Amino acid sequence: MQSVTEQGKHTMEMKVLMRLCGDVIEEEELKKQLEENNGNVSVVLEKLVSKLMNQKVRLYFTKNNKKKSVQKFLNKKKKTEIQVKTCIARHKSQKIKMNKIKDNQELKKDGESEQKLDKLHKEDEKVEIGETKPGINVQGYCVNQDCLAARAKLPVWVNLGFGDASFHSDRTNYRCPDCAQATVTSVVKALFFNSEHSICASDTSIPVKDNHYQCFYIIKPGLSYDLKSKKIRQHATSLEDLIMKSEDAMTSNEILNLVAELQKYLITVVKPSKVKDKVRLLEKIQCDYNGDYNQVFDVGRFTILCDNATKLQTAVAVMKKAEQFNLIVSEDKDFFERQSKTHHRFHNIKLYVPKHDVYVEMQATLKNFTTLEGYTVIENPKLSHLFYEHIRAWKPNNSEEEDLKQASDDTLTKINDIICEWMDEKGIQKMANRYKSNSDIGVLKPPQLSKKTEIEINNNVSLKMIQFVYEQLCKFTPEKVKGKAIYMVLYEYYKKYIVGDKNPASCADFALLLQEARKQEMEEDIAISQALETYIPLQANNYPHMDNDDNKNQDTYDCHQHVITFLEKEKEKEEENKNEQQQQRKAMIIQGKSGSGKSIFCRHLENTLWNNYISNSNNRIPVYISFSKVYDDQNEKDIILQALQGKHISKEIMDAIREKVSFVFIMDGFDEIFDFYRKNENEQYFYDRFNLSQWNAKVIVTCRSKVLNDDDIKSTLIGTNKNDTSMMYLWPFTKQQMSNYIEKFATMKSKSSNKMNNEDNDWTPKQYEETLNNYSNLQKMVEEPFLLQLILSVLPSLVKRYGIGSRITKAQVYEVFNEQWIDIHTQNITSKLAELRMKMDTSKVKATLKQYCLDLGFAMFIQGNQVAIESDFHYEDNHETWSKLDPIIENENTSIVDKKTEMKTANEGESSKTKDAWERYFSGDSVAKYVLRRVGGNKYQFLHKSCQEFYAAQKIILDIISWKPIISGDSVNNQQFQKQFKTHAQSSFSIVNY
């Protein structure tokens, strides 16, 4: 078996022969034999021994030392063969280079030969078929005639991996990498890569052993071979032995000389101050190597830091010349151009130090890519390593932890992609552009850590990981592009896999969810959107308005500005008293008559506060809460939780929100729930009753005037400490406010007239004002914003029905308005049905909708609730809904509400009663509900509470008018009449006992 290359013109072989045979055979004879056998020392020795034995050792002997020389020659022959083979194998790299030099010198005799060499060399590189990998690689020829490599007679590489391999060079059956058939029937060369190995041929019993990272061997025809390859391993007898050897090797002359050589090229070599801590090593050995300490190579690791890729190439080239420093390059792994498992970018070389029988690791990378403290340009350089430390020993206990572990691995890879620039510059910059600091977004504490002790966290790997990421997001404030991109990778991991996509990960996320919920509410509640379009700032005072007061002589103030000033002053007080343990409770109560604009003001205030928050996230977040929608007398203390859950905020994140976020709770319509509220006499003050002290919040509460008496207001809304609560009263519109509103109203109507071609919408502001002046009894009504809206909406109809200057009552205004409201929805329904080619009697539709409103308005009055809930709600396809005939409208003889209402038993829950009460109004695919104002996904109410009250009153009046006593004789006396009426009233108007 012969090495693949020679070193010089048989110089080394000649020296060996002279040293072993020079005292027996003449030098000229040895040269002749060596040249005839093309430098093959083994063949020369075989021939010489045979010749000497045949001639009975009579030739070439000196007279005085014949027997001794022959015996010496024979004893050394076998040993010589082994030494020559081993020497040639160990120095193959040098011989390859020398062989190239020899070839170049011979071919440089003329220019044409040199060009030919270049051409042949390039072609030689092209014919390398297959891939060489760590372990055993053999090169041979495929005999499959359908294989392109076989047809071209190209040698192919086959990787056998680590382990043992035995074969006869002419009788193999390895799988061809080209055709994938087991048709590589002969082997001509062997390569061992990144392994400790041995090779032995059948013509010798002594194997050649080596641990150089790349060893080539010629495979001779007709011989059998045994090849062994195993991964590079340390040779220590214990961990202590490994640490001691590593320490000695790191300070050895061999390593120090190599380091000095690298430093000549202005390459930074970082030697660790000491080897890794034994406790840390034991943990890594157990987790990564199943307790096998001989698989550890970074006990002592040198880091080679280069300014650029060229310097890195230089550093690697110098390290690969380690033989001149009595070191052996045993493993070469290039992860600079191809990605490692964790996407770190480096060139890793293991050097064997024979003197200490230990491997030392040299890791070369660019200065821009290192996270080594003191040398790095990366912000928060420990982050990636600490992240790795948390997941390295993590053994998930369930599928949820497995998912988090996988996501953690992927996140670490993304972080390293940024550090090592596997992600391009544009991608890193794009990621960094999305960065917002914790001070801007306010990262929320993950729910998993809620009410967990440090001991519980430290005993749970996933909780430790969650806490680590949360703390990093709170403390890390990068300024450079890479740092910002890394922060965003960590935040996205935190948001998606720790907090969850459906939950907010920060105050900013929470605010976005609330804004989306508000947007949806506005889209569903068109009436509010239109009312905001015509909003006029309200005036207020510290005392209520009396009907005989003249607004001109009163010193009122802007309601909106007063509330803003109240909130800002309280914020300043908080800053002054932020070190106090207990936060002062603060609330403002806004009272006003029905239709005075309380709800619209609340929505307008909410909009202003949102704009303030968007411009400065340190401001409080507003939350509009309609009492009638969220109040539950069985769970009053969680009213805020219920309100937030209604805005798509999950309960599990509430603790973090409560801890981090400051609010303004705008709680509208306390009067609408007061009848239920006052039944519980345990705690009267609303602030304590609703558990508001748990929240960092200022509270605005609206209440209709005169629903609560003075004592109720004091005990319920003000509480014992009057300094905690501010009281404000809304005042009616002034002439100027009315004029401003009319102008906005006329503008809005003119816009809609372009779409509807309705001549009643073409009125000018002046026309509205002049017409109003003709109705003296309407002047007081139009001082209230909602009544002004109603009157302006129906003013053209009032003129047509009652004429100019007639006396019009409030009941007549509501009657005309509600008729007009039903007419509009009747037209909408019939036009929709017409599009589907379904004809419907308009008068019947109108009558049905009116009866629907009468019955539902009365039911709301009986229930004491302004909101009707559709229990089996789902978002329907509008086309599908309209394509189905409304069962209510279809049966003209069937009333919407069966007057025979089932009496509820006393032990049934209130929620069950309420559900049953509304169920009849949302049965089947009813489209009658669209006459209502939708104020939530499954919640409906009338345009205004006063509209509901009008229908309830009208229902009662119509029922009384239509009722007739049962006459048993010729007549009925007064006593009988009253008795029958009382019985009728109880059965008709006492549907629910409460």
Q: How would DSSP label each residue in 180-242? A: -SS-EEEEEEEEEESSEEEEEETT-SSPEEE--SEEEEEPPTT-EEEEEEE------SSHHHH
Query: How deeply is 426 buried, as exposed, middle or buried, from its count of CB atoms within 10 A (0-12, 13-18, 19+)?
Result: exposed
Please report the pLDDT score of residue 568 as a whole number: 86
Q: Quick one: average pLDDT of 651-669?
A: 92
Alpha-helical runs (H) found in 459-525 = 461-475, 481-493, 507-524
Please report the pLDDT score of residue 896 as a whole number: 31
For every residue of 754-766, DSSP letters joined together read HHH--GGGG--HH
Question: Could you tell me what percent of the chain has a pLDDT over 90?
Answer: 48
More confident residue, 694 or 835: 694
Please report the pLDDT score of residue 585 as a whole number: 56
**Structural element, H or E, at residue 560:** helix 559-576
For every residue of 857-880, DSSP letters joined together read HHHHHHHT-S-EE-TT-----HHH
Q: Quick one: average pLDDT of 35-43?
A: 71
If pLDDT is split at 50, 70 and 90, which confidence band does 893 have? very low
Please report the pLDDT score of residue 443 as a whole number: 95
Helix (H, G, I), strand (E, B) or coil at 221: coil
Q: Do the Cβ atoms of 489 and 385 come closer than 8 Å?
A: no
Q: Quick one: average pLDDT of 617-644?
A: 91
Task: Find which of 201-215, 439-453, 471-485 is predicted with most confidence, using mean pLDDT.
Answer: 471-485
Please report the pLDDT score of residue 881 as a whole number: 44
Q: How is residue 508 written in tokens?
A: 């900013």
Please report the pLDDT score of residue 19 as a whole number: 67
Q: Has this prediction a pTM greater than 0.75?
A: no
What lies within 8 Å, CB to CB, of 84 at 6+ separation is: 13, 16, 41, 42
Please report the pLDDT score of residue 901 as a whole number: 34
More confident residue, 579 or 305: 305
Q: Do the Cβ atoms of 623 and 663 come closer than 8 Å?
A: yes
If pLDDT is split at 50, 70 and 90, which confidence band does 552 have? low
CATH fold of 509-546+555-566+584-731, please? Rossmann fold (3.40.50)
Query: Residue 777: pLDDT above 90?
Result: no
More confident residue, 657 or 863: 657
Please report the pLDDT score of residue 957 as a whole number: 87
More confident residue, 890 or 22: 22
Alpha-carbon distances, residue 188 vs 140, 166, 521 (angstroms):
5, 14, 80
Domain boundaries, the chain: 11-56, 135-231, 239-377, 382-503, 509-546+555-566+584-731, 738-808, 820-871+916-962
Q: What is the pLDDT of residues 59-74, one digit of tens each?
A: 333 333 444 444 444 4
Task: Find which of 848-852, 868-872, 968-972 is predicted with most confidence, using mean pLDDT.
Answer: 848-852
Please report the pLDDT score of residue 84 as a whole number: 43
Between CA 783 and CA 738 the distance in angstroms is 7
Q: 296-310, 489-503, 890-904: which has the minimum mean pLDDT?
A: 890-904
Query: Residue 613: pLDDT above 90?
Result: yes
More confident residue, 963 or 489: 489
Query: Residue 5: pLDDT above 60?
Result: no
Q: What is the pLDDT of residues 519-547, one digit of tens each?
A: 988 888 888 888 899 999 999 999 998 87
Neighbours of 821 (CB within 10 A): 19
Query: Residue 698: pLDDT above 60?
Result: yes
Query: Residue 80: pLDDT above 50?
Result: no
Q: Do the Cβ atoms of 503 and 400 come closer than 8 Å?
A: no
Please state whether beta strands 196-201 and 208-210 pair in parallel, antiparallel, or not at all (unpaired): antiparallel
Q: Do the Cβ atoms of 863 and 917 come closer than 8 Å?
A: yes
- Work out the mean pLDDT of the chain and round it to a whole number: 82
DSSP 189: E
Between CA 356 and CA 967 the distance in angstroms is 124
Cα 285 versus chain centre, distance: 33
Largest CA distance in the chain: 173
Q: What is the pLDDT of residues 182-213, one digit of tens each?
A: 999 999 999 999 999 999 999 888 999 999 99
CATH fold of 239-377, please? Beta Polymerase; domain 2 (3.30.460)
DSSP 894: S
If pLDDT is split at 50, 70 and 90, which confidence band does 621 have? very high
Neighbours of 303 (CB within 10 A): 18
Please report the pLDDT score of residue 402 as a whole number: 93
Question: Could you tell me what percent of the chain has a pLDDT over 70?
Answer: 81
Neighbours of 163 (CB within 10 A): 11
Please report the pLDDT score of residue 64 as a whole number: 39
Q: 89-103, 205-219, 668-682, 850-864: which has the minimum mean pLDDT?
A: 89-103
Query: Residue 569: pLDDT above 90?
Result: no
Q: What is the pLDDT of residues 216-274, one digit of tens each?
A: 999 999 999 999 999 999 999 999 999 999 999 999 999 999 999 999 989 999 998 88
**Structural element, H or E, at residue 818:** helix 810-835
Query: How deeply is 983 buried, as exposed, middle or buried, from its count of CB atoms within 10 A (0-12, 13-18, 19+)?
Result: exposed
Cα 933 versus chain centre, distance: 37
Query: Residue 175: pLDDT above 60?
Result: yes
Q: Do the Cβ atoms of 186 and 255 come closer than 8 Å?
A: no
Q: 370-384, 491-505, 820-834, 849-863: which has the minimum mean pLDDT?
A: 820-834
Q: 95-99, 203-207, 833-837: which has the minimum mean pLDDT?
A: 95-99
Please report the pLDDT score of residue 992 as a whole number: 39
What lies within 8 Å, CB to CB, of 619 at 6+ separation is: 609, 612, 613
Q: Quick one: average pLDDT of 823-831?
A: 84
Please report the pLDDT score of residue 756 as a whole number: 54
Q: Do the Cβ atoms of 925 and 833 come closer than 8 Å?
A: no
What lies within 8 Å, CB to CB, of 101 at 6+ separation is: none
If pLDDT is split at 50, 70 and 90, which confidence band does 915 have? low
